[in-house]
Structure 1
Amino acid sequence: MEVWSNKIVSVIVPTIAKEGYLKKCLASLAGQTHPPEEIIVMDNSLDVRFRHEIVQTYPSIKLYSSQERLSYCASLNKGISKSSGDFILCLNDDVVLDSRFIAKALRGFLLDPKVGMVSGKILRRDEKTIDTTGLFLSCYRTAKERGYNFKDKGQFEQEGYIFGVGGAVGFYRKDMLEDIKEGEDYFDSDFHFFYEDLDVAWRARLAGWRGYYVPEAIGFHVRGGSVRNKAGIGKPYARRYLDDSLHLDLLKNRYMAIIKNESCLGFLLHLPCMFLYDLVLWSYILLFRTHLIKKFFFQLRYLRMAYAKRRFFRRIMKERSNFQKSKNA
């Protein structure tokens, strides 16, 4: 018997019942060689017929429906709070997993007790193009998906430590999520969509946790299945495919992640790169999305809230460190 066979895995799948993705996702979970203990679907479709169909087809899943559409992060938080697993697999509904994904990915956690996040090799549905082989923090202070949009030629077959995991297929140790929890939030609910995976990874790193990459754990992601403009489905994220609300999330969430997690020294060291990135970014907005500027100013309150969360998290980490020192004295 494999040493991880007794590890309980909970899967959280937020969905808005778009393009029929969920059924394929659930079918891939049902075929796992290490089946999850529970599959929790957070239904934001507001479609009673869809809910009935899913329950009839997959009677063993736990389906939670909301009377109002929750954000992606709020859905994950609610699902995680209801989960019972030792490990939490957060999936986009436009993901299909290889039958050995969970079994292979679990090994990454067992190599090191401080591994709190595991990424597999996530490909696009063409099975040739890389979606991600792990999340890294770029000098621009953006989330960088390693290998993104490259053809898979076996260049990422070496397992090893990474900064974090991408949000489409995020596999987490439950203890880590509890350790970095902010109030009732595992994922910062102010992020809604975009950069929530980087924020979790960054907080986890600050708390002493690590990420790990296991190339044998393979999944397939549509990439863009959550974009509301159908022209963007299946393509790399491009700004022209994002509606205004998603574009604003993309803007504010990067600043929030930096404010919450960046050290003063790190900010100064990376300021030239960040300046160049923002110069290009805001030039694009001035030329093509001028109407977003006014809307962005209404988002500034979130940046103040991010600073308050930074102070709270740093204080908790300091208190925890002081307690550990006194315990070891």
Structure 2
Amino acid sequence: MKAESNKIVSVIVVTCGKADFLKDCLDSLKAQTFSGLQLIVIDNSTDVEFTKSIRSSYPFVQIHSNPKNLFYCQALNQGINASSAGFLLCLNDDVVLDKDYIREAIKGFEHDPKVGLVSGKIMRSDKKTIDSTGLSLSLYRTAKERGYGAKDSSQFQKEEYIFGVNGAVAFYRRQMLEDIKQGDEYFDTRLRIFYEDLDIAWRGQRAGWRGFYTPRAVAFHIRGGTVRSEGGINKAYARRFLSDDLNLLLIINRYAVMRKNESLIDFLVHLPFIALFELFSWSYILFTRPKLIKKILENQIVLKNK
């Protein structure tokens, strides 16, 4: 890591023990041209030998090893509480950054003091397919990945304001996270995993913060590498490759985030689109994952508590 700036960034990587992914991720952080990085790994693997290997190979990394899997939101809160910088880059372990990613991405915060979230161009591991250029809020109130699955033909080469950032490579201004904090939590731990990126973006927008996209910062994401079965890595239609328990979270978290953040007026305006999405979504579940319906009904208490 070369000396270049006195700005400090805390990088928080959450891992569940996929050694090859984590090695590539940490190697890309070690190669960053932006200096003064605080590197934090939150280890949810519960594997003592895995933790030892990280400490041995990357002695410059601050490691927090958990006795059980705390899931993504609680692990990120743990990392943020252990961090000291004014900017926080939250990463999945299946992400590799271009050597200039942080140096270029942090410039996005300089465009406006109310920029609280920054995304670069996130590519798939084939380096040809776009994974995300930031989030927009769809008419049916889900997170829509800009450019998702499209071949990169320089169609996203303009810097611009966006609604939010993909949770796999999420760059935040600490001031924004403090501003939208819920009690002692930055990320809502009730969500555990999925839709936490939309929740943060939506809460930020409601509080007057903005997202920003810069194509000069490039990262590579093995889509689904952290949570999907091996056959589903880098494939579309994520639900096909998730366990029933993770599919359950994907469904109930959308409702929870919408209920937390949507105003009644906006909900009524978008109700026709939401209803259409519900029709297709529940039809898909009925014919492909009928057991999920029983699980969802059994978990109504979860929805009520959110």
**What's the TM-score, normalizing by structure 2?**
0.97
Corresponding letter in the other structure for 2:200: V
- Is the 8 Å Cα contact of residues 5 and 35 (structure 2) preserved in structure 1? no
Aligned match of 1:268: 268
User: Structure 2: how far apart are the matches of 1:148 and 1:19?
Assistant: 27
User: Structure 1: how far apart are the matches of 2:37 and 2:70?
Assistant: 25
Aligned match of 2:83: 83
Q: Does 1:123 align with 2:130?
A: no
Distance apart, 1:227 and its partner CA: 2.5
State the percentage of identical aligned residues.
57
User: Structure 2: how far apart are the matches of 1:282 and 1:113?
Assistant: 42
Aligned match of 1:205: 205
Aligned match of 1:310: none
- Is the 8 Å Cα contact of residues 259 and 303 (structure 1) preserved in structure 2? no
What CA deviation, in whole Å up to 9, does each residue of 1:203-247 have, x standing for no partner? 000000000001000000000102241111122343211101110
Distance apart, 1:46 and its partner CA: 1.1
Corresponding letter in the other structure for 2:187: F
- Is the 8 Å Cα contact of residues 194 and 253 (structure 2) preserved in structure 1? yes
User: Structure 2: how far apart are the matches of 1:288 and 1:36?
Assistant: 49
What CA deviation, in whole Å up to 9, does each residue of 1:48-95 have, x standing for no partner? 111111111110100000111111111001101110011000000000
Three-state SS of the structure 1 residue aligned to 2:219 is strand
Aligned match of 1:295: 295
Q: What is the Cα-based RMSD across aligned positions, in Å?
A: 1.2
Pairing 1:241-320 to 2, within 5 Å after superposition = 241-306=241-306
What CA deviation, in whole Å up to 9, does each residue of 1:244-282 have, x standing for no partner? 111001100100111000011110110000000000111
Aligned match of 1:47: 47
Change (3 A) 1:19 1:59: closer
Corresponding letter in the other structure for 1:218: V
- Is the 8 Å Cα contact of residues 223 and 237 (structure 1) preserved in structure 2? no
Pairing 1:106-145 to 2, within 5 Å after superposition = 106-145=106-145
Pairing 1:171-182 to 2, within 5 Å after superposition = 171-182=171-182
Moved more, 226-235 or 6-15: 226-235
User: Structure 2: how far apart are the matches of 1:296 and 1:35?
Assistant: 47
User: Structure 2: how far apart are the matches of 1:273 and 1:156?
Assistant: 27
Distance apart, 1:36 and its partner CA: 4.6
- Is the 8 Å Cα contact of residues 11 and 36 (structure 1) preserved in structure 2? no
- Is the 8 Å Cα contact of residues 19 and 50 (structure 2) preserved in structure 1? no
- Gap runs ≥5 in structure 1: 307-329
User: Structure 1: how far apart are the matches of 2:41 and 2:183?
Assistant: 23
- Is the 8 Å Cα contact of residues 177 and 186 (structure 2) preserved in structure 1? yes
How many residues align? The count is 303
User: Structure 1: how far apart are the matches of 2:44 and 2:286?
Assistant: 34
Corresponding letter in the other structure for 2:114: K
Aligned match of 2:105: 105
Aligned match of 1:236: 236
- Is the 8 Å Cα contact of residues 140 and 273 (structure 1) preserved in structure 2? yes
Aligned match of 1:321: none
Three-state SS of the structure 1 residue aligned to 2:131 is strand
Distance apart, 1:293 and its partner CA: 1.2
**What's the TM-score, normalizing by structure 1?**
0.90
Aligned match of 1:153: 153
User: Structure 2: how far apart are the matches of 1:180 and 1:122?
Assistant: 26
User: Structure 2: how far apart are the matches of 1:196 and 1:237?
Assistant: 19
User: Structure 2: how far apart are the matches of 1:61 and 1:82?
Assistant: 12
Corresponding letter in the other structure for 2:244: D
User: Structure 2: how far apart are the matches of 1:184 and 1:296?
Assistant: 29
